[in-house]
Amino acid sequence: MPGTRFDAMCGRETMWHRIAIALAALLALGAVAGCGRDAAAPPLVLAAASLQESMTAAADAWAAEGHARPTVSFAATSALARQIEAGAPADLFVSADEDWMDRMAQRKLIVPGSRETFLGNALVLVTAKDNPATIATEPISALRDTLAAQPVAMADTRSVPAGKYGKAALEKLGLWEVARPHVVAAENVRAALALVERGAAPLGIVYATDARASAKVRVVWTFPETSHPPISYPVARLTTSTNPDAERFRAFLVSDKGKAIFARYGFVPR
């Protein structure tokens, strides 16, 4: 991914941010591994970064019904998938696209019949709420000029679902070549959002739910649904799972009650 003038300013902070995320994920997985994955331990869920608030609320709702509260580890879908491939002792995987779940299925890492796509999302262009500048987006030629002149934060377009959706949308609209030199790469969609929140990038491409979760950004444009593959969130139980509560929690997530929780955070139930 091409660099930008923001790389030098953000490089050190991004490096430590990545280390912190990796350590947090390892600690969460290590804690479960250390307890021997006994039946009394709560399920461990590996969930896409864009699900932070909504999955936390779902875990809280499940616990309120008298169940052990699931432990949830959030990161880029690509990072979680690689943890699973490396033998992470988790129970459920919630991906932000079908490609990574397909890969898990091909490698026989998910339980047949447990996969279900239960949520959708939208893709938006955001800027900081306190940014006084007018961001021109209409007509498409104005958006082209905007993207040609300003850095735009995106999740890694090579592997992270949000970045892949964003690149696909820009390509479909004929905007990728003008935007590409100005892309500020982030390790996941929430990291891209954070760059916009603190003014490190004037623009960002994130999910609509990410923009909704932040009090520091505003949406300046919504990408047409036809400009990118459908944004979908499949969940599946992992073949390494031995926790009897994992399947029950998976069923709760895809139930009408579970999907209603995610709908409150802007996700589209499927």
| 21-52 residue pLDDT tens | 444 444 445 444 444 455 568 999 999 999 99
Domains and CATH numbers, the chain: 37-120+232-269 (3.40.190.10), 122-227 (3.40.190.10)
Q: Dihedrals φ, ψ of 133, to 5°?
A: -70, 145
Instruction: Answer yes or no: are the C-beta atoms of 143 and 175 closer than 8 Å.
Output: yes
Please state the residue numbers annotated as binding site for molybdate: 50, 77, 162, 189, 207
pLDDT at residue 41 in the model: 86
Instruction: Answer yes or no: are the C-beta atoms of 127 and 133 closer than 8 Å.
Output: yes
Closest by CA position to 101, among listed 93, 91, 89, 113: 93
pLDDT at residue 39 in the model: 55
For residue range 217-260, list pLDDT tens digits in order. 999 999 999 999 999 999 999 999 999 999 999 999 999 999 99
Mean residue pLDDT of the chain comes to: 90
Please state the residue numbers annotated as binding site: 50, 77, 162, 189, 207
Ramachandran region of residue 243, left (φ > 0), alpha (ψ -120 to 50) or beta? Answer: beta
Q: Which value, to the nearest 10 degrees, does the dihedral of the CA atoms of residues 254, 190, 105, 114 take?
A: -10
pLDDT greater than 90 at residue 140: yes
For residue range 164-181, list pLDDT tens digits in order. 999 999 999 999 999 999
Residue 11 buriedness (CB in 10 A; 0-12 / 13-18 / 19+):
exposed
pLDDT greater than 60 at residue 16: no
pTM summary value: 0.85
